[in-house]
Structure formats: structure tokens, C-alpha cells
A and B are shown apart, each in its own frame.
Chain A
Amino acid sequence: MSNNLRFKTSKFIDETYRVSFKFNNKTYFGFKGDTLASALLANGIHLVGRSFKYHRPRGIMTSGSEEPNAIIQLHDNSSRTEPNVRATEVEIYEGLVASSQNCWPSVNFDIGGINNLLSPILPAGFYYKTFMWPASFWEKYEYFIRKSAGLGKSPKVADPDIYEHKYIHCDVLVIGAGISGIMAAKMAAKNGFKTLLVDEKSYLGGSSIYDNSEFSKINNQITSSWLEKEINEISKLENLEIKTRTSVAAFHGYNFLLARENLTDHLPINQRENKVRQRLLKIRAKKVITATGSIERPLIFDNNDRPGIMLSSAIKRYIDLYGVACGENNILFTNNDTAYETAMSLIQRGIKINAIIDNREQIDSKISYEVEKNNIKIYKGYTVVDTYGYRRINKISIMKLSKDGQTVIGDKTKLNCDCLGVSGGWTPAVHLFTQSGGKLKFREEDQVFIPNVYPSDQISIGSCNGDFGLEEIIKNTLSSIKKFLDIDNSEYKTVETISGLNQSKRNIWLLPSDKSIGKTKSFVDYQNDATAKDIKLALREGFRSIEHVKRYTTTGMGTDQGKLGNMHALGIISETAGTKMGEHGTTTFRPPYTPLTFGTIVGRNVGEFFDIFRRTPIHDWHVANNAEFENVGQWKRAWYYPKDNENMHQAVQRESKAARDSAGILDASTLGKIDIQGTDASEFLNRVYTNAWSKLAIGKCRYGLMLNEDGMVYDDGVTTRLGENHYIMTTTTGGAANVLGKLEDYLQTEWPELDVYLSSVTDHFATISVCGPNSKKIVSKVVPDLDLSDEKFPHMSFKNSKIDNIKCRIMRISFTGEHSYEINIQANFGKSVWEKCMEAGKDFNITPYGTETMHLLRAEKGFIIVGQDTDATLTPIDLQMDWIVSKKKYDFIGKRSLYRSDTIREDRKQLVGLLTENPEEVLEEGAQIVADIKKSPIEMLGHVTSSYYSPNLKKSIALGVVKGGKNMLGQKLIIPMENKNINVTVADPVFLDKEGERLNAKL
């Protein structure tokens, strides 16, 4: 450690607690309380990264979350490795490992640095202009561009840390614990408001907490001492919750905010075990007080990006808070009084200041006189025109500014330095305010945007509201909080302030140079390497709107969202285009304010909690019997049950054959079930289904098709009449919730006069379907009380019965075309009844089958699956299901749409069967169907919707939709595939047992 850079100092650094860490494979030491940036600076390290486009050496520029340059890779080669971390925000801990990004092979020698030499040919929009032609080459260009541009590495294995989400409700949320935030929180909490105070730093007090200057006092005390007492007082308030290391990421409408609370990132790795790393706070606040402070502006001049060039306020923070001198030969460059505060901090510790360069001709403040008294040379009315030094600044040259500030005059003077502090004044941190929908206004006097129109119950105070002087901050905080909270007692009697600063400023967005603009590199956005020259080029090429200039030059598009340079970009645009500030828009700041980890965003929703899934009551049996599962909506459904070493095809062929030859059993519990009751239940069904329901007898079942109002098929299923005013409707597995929603919608909003009640009973019943020629024998053993004769229990009817004294509903309905029964029993008994069926079916080779076999069996019968064979563009007529559309009913949902000019077209896509010329060839679902492959372009007639090899028919079968297909029976069509054309013939979609002999066979 370079001892002459570290000074005995504040209570923020624990000098008895030495911490070792690694940066770029070298071990260094810092103290507890250091950030990675302060520890590196204490070791004399400024160069920490390379810039994005030109690979220029870059150093630590700031001391906070606005840092554009010092972004590093944390935790090398571990599951915790994290790119794009700002060194200024990382609190060091024993064993920290970090490295530079965007450089290869090393930060000191970087091959990409050649881009810097090539920069005359890398102007704004270079990539857009150069690499877009020929289009087919983009893939090759992209590889090299991405390789040389790489910003950090993502981890290759799962994140070992725990994250969580938490809701917080409060009366008042105060964002930012600087001087105004502390005062506001105290006023709110003491007046009975449940208050939450958050700050992104690890400590409270903002920049005032290390303000030990004689030049700013409150009630005759040094600002930091006064503030410490205030903090001490509020930390005991019951009504106030304080969260440090908590950064508000997003400020949404209705005072809904998201914040990230860092809980373990500052701890040594071995102390993080089983602790929550980061917490996403979802905050609902009745009132929000934004006290996010302001960000110091850099100055825009030639080569303003060398390592060692820093914000003057950062230099002050490093020395006052961390006891670290950023340089031994300092120069400050400013257009306002801020730099003189930094100067006093350096002077107090005897750190050398070679000169102060001030844009202003006249400087008239107590603090500047004090600095002058210390024999510091102040160059008034001067500007820096260039800087020198490759890996660290070593020299600057300065020239006198002309009266209008547009040019430089006189001789060039060179001055030595190893650190240059710059101050271009302050920009209110209005990011959260604008995120919430707030509108800004521009204040001409000091060229800042400040909050103007609040979209919700909120207020901005302190320097984020444009109050920069200590007296102004305190006075305005007191009065506006009193008004905002509607309180009489401000909790503060008299607050007297003394400040040695005045607010004069000479604002020049782009400082002039003795070189032509084309020869300068004056960086506006450091992270994305966008220069003033680039912005001017964009304007010359016709861009005006800030949003366009931003995208063209990439200004403000980095991970820092241009916190430092956006104002200068706006200023340069307005100066160049001769327009008013803000006339071409201010850029939009989008959430998050600082980047969030994916872990924080997903919280506990990882692994099996990523999405909820629903299991049927019989699920465990399927698992125990080797089922493979398929996701259907949120359900896990048994897909097929491979035996021995069967693949899916083999298992499905076996299952399908067994179901038709003897007996199959299917878990159909996932089908949606809606219980419908009320005196108008029949009328209601008449209106929602296409067919007629009034005459359905009690105890009978009917298949129904439901349309949207536009006439397109929406859902289907069998509905059973359980009683005079009682039905049970089944829906598709995936459609259940939507169907219930749609039915409720019509009931509540269109037909409130109907006496009908709906309730979802999907989860209440287990549904077991037993099918096949031996199904009757099996079911008669399971439900011995029931007479299964065709006379007493014909197809499409229903009976109440009992299995071991447990009530059940049995329907004789079929989705396979086989004789089959559906047993519905209270969910808890589902598994035992299933096992009973398996036992009863043992002698009949009862075969459990999954969804894949179910799909195959129904396709053999030409039964549609809504959502597979239909896609919300097919009417029942298109599906050749005219038989189910009532001609007699006056109205039902979608009826009028069935004879719109569009829906009666003959050449609509219609459902047909497809048979391949080669019966062994199985088509691909989704494949295109054409008639003529010689015509160019080839006309697409439709596509294959379902396709299987049928073991029962011993040939390939498929369903598809084809334009005008209804009238193409027997016609030859072609399925063009990547390396062959498959010939098919249009067929009837019912492939097996069209006459229904299997269904009606006497068993």
C-alpha cells in the first residue's frame, strides 16, 4: 500500500481491520469500510478498464452509482461471477476477487486498443453503415464485433445464492438519506406517519455526513456533527424503518416502487451461507418523498477520459470519507464553486494542488478567497484544451477562453498533474421522478431540469429538486414537507446556516479547443465512447430528436444510462441546432435506476417454483409406473408409459393397439369441469353452445361446441344433465379457466336476468376413462351395483352410483370411438379407484395410456382437438361439423358471424384427412400443403395439424387444413419438405369405423 495516499481519517474506515483482495490476479490490501474503488485508489491504481468501442484506458471517475468507467467482473471463475459491477459500489471484504472487463490480454496491454488508432474511421453509426451489406455477411461480422466488444462474462452454472421478494406498505417513503431526506423522515415519523427511509449507500447522511468544512455550518455546528445528532435521533423513532444498501430501482404509477436491498454482498463469502443475498422490495407508499440528490457534471473537453480524471466531488469523498488521496499532484478544473470545497479538503491534509482552472472570469466567494490565501494559483477564465498520459494523466494544457466562451485565445500553457478533478456543476437526479411520469421544466439560470408536474402524491426535495445551497435546501425542505404532509409542527425550531459558497456558474456544454472538432475526442458518454463530434455528426446527418441522436450515437445507452453525460448531449444538440433546451425532448430514464441481478428479479421463483404445476390425484401412480409427463397448461399429464426399453413411438403403438383390442385406461382428471345450476341453466347452454339443449333429458350427455362471437371455434366438451336445473360441463384441459371466465362475462354483463350459477369443480373430481371391447367387464367389477346393459345405460348417458360406498358419477361417453366409461369420483379416492380398475382389468391386459395415445386414437376417428386442429380461424363449418350447428335456434354466441361474407367463402381453409402415398411415411405436424410446386411463388394451401402412424389401420394418417379442402376429396396434394416432396391424397377425416360399429357393438 502506498502510504502517502492513505490518511488517518473518519470513523467510516476501520484501520484496525485490514482486508486483502485480488484485482487482476494481484493481491492488495484495504480497510474495512473501503469500496473496491477507494481501496484501489489507495494503492495508486486508477486504470481499471478499457472503453467499449476504442478500448481506451479508463479509470475510476466517480464515487457512486453513476460510475461509467470502473465496471468490473466480480468473483472470477465462480458460480457467483457477475459482470458490469461498479467498483465504486462494491464494499470490500476478505477474499474479494475482481478483474477488469473489455480488455484482452490485459488491461495494461489491450489488442482492441488499436480501435483507438482507427477511430477516425469509426464515427457514429459506423457499425450500422458498414456491416449491414451484404446482409448475408452480418453473421460473420457479428461474431467479430461481439468478440471484441464483450462486456463481461455471465456465469456458466446456477446461482448459489438465495433471493426473495417482500411487500412493504407505508404512509411515507423517503428515498435518499442525505440532509433533506433525514429531515423529511424525522418530520414524517414524528407526526405519526409510518415511514420508510431508504438509501443506496451503507451509511446515512449522503455527502453532508463528511462535510467537515468551516464553510458550511448549521446552528453554528459543523454540518457533519449536526447531521450525526439528527441521525442518532431518528434511529430511535418507532414509526421509522431505515434501510441502507437499498437502491430504488423503479418508481411506477400509483406510488408503487421496486427497490433492491443488498443484504450479504459486503460480507466475506463464508459468512453468506444460507442467508438471503438480495431482496426485492415491492413498496406501496401513500406518499413518496424523493430526496435522491444530484450528480456532479463532468466537463467536455479534448481527451477528458484519461485515468486520473475524476469528478471533483469524488476526490472530496475519497479523501473525506475514506481517507484516500486520488493524486499527489492535483489540478482542479471547474466552472463553479464546488471544486473549492474539494480544494479545502485537500489543503487541510496538505495534499498538493498545482492549480485551479476556472472557466469564470470573476470568482467571488469566501471559500475561493480562502483557497487563494493558501497560495494556490487560480487560472480565471481559462479552460483545459488537452490532456496527456496514456495509462494515467500526467499533463494538461490550458488556454484562455474568449469572452463568449466559444473559442480559445492566447498561448497554450502546460501544467503537470497526476489527477485532474473536474466540476461542471450539478444535475438533479430526477430519474425516479421521470420514471413515475413526472414532467420536468428547464431552469435557464443554472441550466438544470427540475421537477415540475407531479403525477401522484409525491414531492421532490433537496438538490434533486434543484436546491443546491445549504440554506436553500434546509429552508425549502422544512416548508415543503410541512405543506406536503399537512403538519403544523416541523420538529425544527430555528435552523441557521452559514455557507461559504455562492451559486455562480459559467456553463459551457462543449468547451472550445484550439483543434478543429474533427480532431478532438471530447467524451460525452464515457461508457459507450460517444463524443461531442459524434453528436454533431448525427445532427449534420439530419437527426434532431434526442431519442434518435441517442440511438444513433449510443449516447446514454450504457448500463449507467448516461447519468453523467446526458445533459451535455442535450446541451450540445441545442447549441448546434440553435434550439431551446428540451425542445427536442429530454431522454427517458427507464427502470432500473441501477442494474438489478436476475436473482433479485425472480426471487424464490426458481427451480420447481419457477411456475406452479398441477398434479392429478392419480399423479403418484403415474410416476411409480414410469410415465413420461407432458405439460398441458399448468397440468402435468401422463404422456406415455414406456415399458422396458421402449421409445415413445413404440410405447404409443402398443398402448393404442391395446385400447382397441382389449382395454385402455386414461387419467382424464385435468378436463375442466364447471357445475352449472339455476332455473335458466338450459336456456344458458342454448345460448353458449351451437347446438340445442332444451330437450336433453335428465341423465343424458351431449357433445357441445362453443364459439367466439366472431364465429370461430373456442372450446368443446361433453355436458351432462344431472337434474332439472343442474348440469356439469366439461371443457378442454387448457381452456377451463378461460371458458369459465367467458361464461361469467356473458352471465354478468349481457344476460344478468338469467338465473344461473357457475362454479369450477375441476379439482373436486378425479376422472378415469376406461375404454375398449373389454371395458364393460372391467367397469362391472369396479361398480357392481350398476346395471351396464345397453338398454339401461346406453351411449351418451349418465348414472349415479357407488364404489365401496363412495358416491360416484359414471358417464358412458367416448373420445376414442370405443365403448367406454368415465368414472368421476371425489378426488381423494381417485388413486384407489384407478388401482381398482387396474386390478379388475388385469385379465384383460388393461393398458394405461397417456395423452399421446389419446391423441392418436381420436385422430383415427377424426375428432378434433381445439387448439391443435383449430387456431381461432376456423368455424364449425370449416371443420366439416355442420351437423352440430343448430339451424333452428334464433341466436347463440357466434351465430351471426357464421354467415358473414368472409365466413361463407368456399375457399376458406377446411379440415380434411390426409393419406400419404407411402403408408409408412408419417407427415410432420405443421408442414405446409401445396398443389403445384412448379408455380412461383408456390401457393400455400394449408398445413398439417395432426399426424400419426396408426397401428390399428397399419398406415400413416393425418389431419390438416386446406383451402377449399371440403371439395377436394380424392385430390392429390404435395407436402414439400427440405429434401423431398411427399405425395398425399385428400381423404375423409374419419379414418376408422365411420359407422360407429365399435361404439355400438353388443358386448
Chain B
Amino acid sequence: MVKKSVWSMCGMCTVRCPIRVETEDNKVTWIEGNQHLLKGALCAKGSAGIALLNDTERPLRPLIRKGGRGAGRWEEVSWYAALDYVADNLKTIIKKHGPESIMLSCRGGPFIDLLNAFIHGLGSPNFTNHDSGCGRNVHHASLSVYGLGRKGFVYDIKKSKHLVLFGRNILASLRIAEVNQVLDMLDAGGKMTYVDVRQSLTGIKATRFFQVRPGTDYALALGIIHEVLKEKTYDKEFIEKYVSDFDKLEEFVESYTLEWAANECGIKAGRIKDFVQEIAVDRPKVVFHPGWMMSRYRDSFYASRALHILNVLMGNVEVEGGQIFAKGPGDCGVKEIRSLDAQVPKPTAKRADGVGWKYTHFDKGPGLFPLFYEAMQTGEPYPLKALICVRHDPFTCFPDPQAQKEALDKLDLLVSLDTHYSEFGWYSDVILPESTYLERDSLIATQKGPKPRFIMRRKAVEPQHDTKSLNEIIKLLADRLGIGQYFPFTTTEELWNWQLEPTGFTLRDFDDKGFVSLADKPVMFDRANLDGKFKTPSGKIEIISRVLTDAGLPSLKPYESPEKPDKGQFRLVFGRSPLHAHSHTINNPLLHELMPDNTLWINKRQAAKLGVTEGDWVDVISDGVTGTIKAHVTDFIHLEAVYMVHGFGRQVPLQTRAYHAGIADQKLMKGFLTKMDPAGGGLCLCECFVTVRRSSKNPKRMVEL
């Protein structure tokens, strides 16, 4: 028997926790959190990685579509045939329409260098990702305030005294290290204020809970800013030194009193006052989490911006227990790892989503995926002809898959490169099956933070089926497309060595702990001299963002009260469970066993009016789309909202467990593909109203024979 222990990186969700994997004869026997960083801790998904590996309800060999798109008729082909098919089609498209007619999407993360090098190597600027349906509002809000993206700071939650969460379900989202930081902070007597339209796994650990009316986060944040300014409990020195247009903020929030906010949100003013008094004492060790998935309401960008501003008022920048600048290798006197994309000439064509020329206030890196649909439909600024999705399922991530399909029908080639059958994959022309994270090596990457490190994923076992790693697939395609020179490696080992070369470290430096630590102690900048650290046009923390002003957008947007649902209607909100990484894990045998479908949370009083009791089937209807799930009747959701866990309602027949289990929120959102926050670029995914009724599927008689 051959036993092995391998340092690696989880791939069940996009947190990518560091893990150690034990194997016996090429079978995984044990996975645990890296002892050096997580002391063994792992979540249910992480453990269920073994079930993913052994599951055969995933693409096991390359598939080429036989029938119409989405018909589910596939031909199993060899890798040669599949790669030739993709490469030949891409070549034809490039010849006819130019390389810019090809776009590539993924789910972001630390390994995008490979994908950027590929699409840029082809000559197309059209790299994008899922983030319009996730954190773009937070990212752009952060850029507009600090000139740094949302990953520019790390929250020192463990040492903070007060963590404030606006709908950030931090404990269910299960970044293991972060979860333990939160619990350690609470164990040490820290406070946590949780704001949401419903109670969640995170809220149950909170010391204060504000159940607000859906869509009023921005109002609450403005009320808090007003009170902090009124009571003058902000960090005057820090603001004088680093913040521009502070007076504009004072002027702007004048009418947004605490009483006004309380009334708008449906909570008691006295409770907000108590909160403001508490943070006045806890400051600067107060962290207002600016949000993660904030593609919610039409003003979520401004809500997130207000939360960023609250952090500034707390003066929590570069302090222990506050926000710490994310440091990179350069801050530790180490050279960056070598980038593939940096060797590739920048494509000259402008982006098809308009980012960078039509929309100057958005980050050009990944642009905004939904805007590509517009380009597909109109053929402007030029026609798009091919889409490659790498482990990204736009039909699950973005609303209204039907509208997406209509746009995609203008394309000649859809390629899904994935470890599982995504709904997009099912509709695509080719599925290139990627090996699971336990069977594949990934690039070496940098994890920035107060103590930056180099991290890597090594395969624990050889692929169990005819699948390949992303590195291999991209390399093989690149060779066929005549851009192999940008991928100067044949084995991953060669690639790693090439990446590491400038840093002075070698692969052996990963042997002890699975990562290379670049600092023993947190690297802290001199807080008295942060000049040059804020990358806004003015070099200051900008209350009035020059970039937004130049784009004709307000930096401080007057508040508008959210719509109220009509009688019998509810605002549809969605979230996540600790057991599933959205749609990716729904069909995992072990995770499915524990959570086979989703339910509709509905307020007890509303349920009574509809004659619905716990466990009844309810129909959820929106503009011609209907689904039926069981009701979860509770006091702990706002009267105006209903809630479900995202990721269910999948319609890939080969996923026998997930097939039609539960319902999909995004499929109910007809017409929402184009509802984008013009300032933040996030989609407005909590602006959809649904009708709920007790389903006629609830049996009334025992009819057996």
C-alpha cells in the first residue's frame, strides 16, 4: 500500500482553504484543514470533497453536442477530437471576426493569470467573471473611496472589539479562518451587530440584531453616519490628514437623522443610539464589513460606500483590530512570482462590454459580464462569436437564463470547462471536463495580507477518469492555436519553477507547511505617514470620488425608499447555507443527503393569511415562472420578504439528485439581466417581487388505490 500526505488547497467553494490530504493507492482517505493555519478545521463541503471525487454524475470525458443546444444529446469524444474541435472553431471565428469576438469568463480567484494569458494571447481583451452577481458593488465602492479594490484591505476581526455586518452572513459563508476569527473575537468579549431582513446562522451569535425592512441598508448606514457626526465620535485627526470633502459628507447626511433612519428601517431609534454609543467607545477597533455579495438592491453600491465611509470615520485604517492594508511580496522585500499574462502583449481592441471606454468608472480587469449580453444582442461595438466559461455557470449566477440563452444563440461556439455539469455546460456545444481539485495542480499564487504568503494546490491523486487539469487544457489549446509560446512549460513542475524563479524560493520551501510565509509578524505601514497608499486620483480618501464625478455619477446619492410589495406579493431574497457552495455542490451525494432541497422562509403572520403552515407546499410565482417548494414558517423574517437558499432548482437530468430539487431564485427573475446598478456594476438581484400561494399540490384526501 502506498500512503501519501499532500499539502493542497480545497476547491469545494471559492474560499480555497488550505488543506492536507492523505491518500492510499491513489484513493483519498482523509482531508483536513492545514494544521499550521486552520488546526485541522474543515467544513462539511471540504470533507465531502471525497464524494465529489468518487461521484460519476460529473463529466468524465470530453463531450460534443449532438442535438440542439440544451437538448442533452452528447457524443463522447477523445481529448484530441474535443480540443481540435474547439481550436478549429476558434480559428474560423478569429479569421472571420477577429480574436476580440472571443470572450472568456471564470469565477475570479488566485489562478486567473493563466486564463488572462490565454485570452490576451489570442488577442482578445474580453476576459470577465461572475462578480456582477456578487461583489462588484463592494469592489467599486472601495475603489471610489480608497482607490483600492475590496481586497486592498484585510479585516483584523480577531482583534476587533466590534464587528458590524450588514447582511454579511459571515459564519454560513465559511471561510474557515475568518469564522474562527469571529468566534475568537466573541469569546474574548467582542461584540457583533448583525443587520438583515431575516435571522441567519451569523445573527444567532450576534450581540445585537437589527431586523430591517428589505432594501433599507443604506438608510441605516446614513442614519449611523449622521449620529456619529453629530456626536463627533469620529477620528478627527485621521480625517483631517487623509480625507477630502469631509464637509460635503456633513452637509449630505444632515437630514438623515437617526429617527428618520429608524422609521425607514422599522427599528427603534434608541437601539441605534445605543449602538452608536458603543462604537464610539470601541473605536478604532470597529469593523464595518462593507459586504460581500452586495448585488442586491438598486442602492447597494451606495450602501457599501456608506459602510466604507463608516470605517473611515472609525479611523480603523492600518490599526490592529481594524482594516489592515493587504501587503504583498514587495512589502516584505521579496520579488513577485512571475506572471504569464505579463509576458503577453496587451490586446488593442476595446472591450465589448464597454468597460474602460464607455464606462470609465468600472475596473477593467474583469469588466462586467452582463454587459456582454447587450453586445451579443446588438453586435455593438462588434459581434461576439465564442464564449468559454471556466468553472462558471452564468445561468445560475445571473438572473433570467432564458434571456441569456436568447443572446447566446447569436454565438457560434459555447465551451464549458468545468468539473461538474453546469446549466450553461448543458446548453453549450462542448464540455471539456476538468479534473476535480483533488486531481489537479494549479498555479502558485500570492495571498496578500498583513502576513502575505505564496500558496499552491497540488493534486492529491491522479485523475480517476478521462479529465484534465485547467493548466493542461489551456496549454493544449494554446499549442493548437499558435500561442503556445506564452505557456513555456510541459509539466506543472516546470511551470511552478518558472513562476518562482524571481522570488528566490523553490518548490522545496512549500514542503514543510504547504505554503511559503513571507513575514513572521504582521507588516504594518506607519499610520502617521500613509501618503501614496490611497490610489484615488487625489491620493486622498475621497468622499466625493473624482472618478464617479467624471462619469457623471453622484458620490453621495440621496436616499430613495424601496418599493413596498403589493398585497400577496413579497420581495424575493436569497442567501446561502453552510452545507452548499451554491449550485456547485447540490448534487454531491453527501451534501445532498443532508440538504436535498431549499425551502421558502415566510413570516408567520403572512403565512397565516395565506393559510400556509410549516412544511406546506407553496407555489412561488413571478411573471410567468413558477416553482413549488415547502414553506418554512418563522417569526424571524421581515413581513415584506421571502427567502430561499440559492443554487437549487437545477435542470441537468444527469444530476439525478439535484434534478428539479427545490427552486432557483434566479429563474424567477425575469427581466433582471439588465437591471444593473449604474454606479457599482452589480445586478439588482433583490428587487424581484413574487406571489406566494398555498399550492394545490398539498394533498387533501388519502387517495391510494
A binds B: no
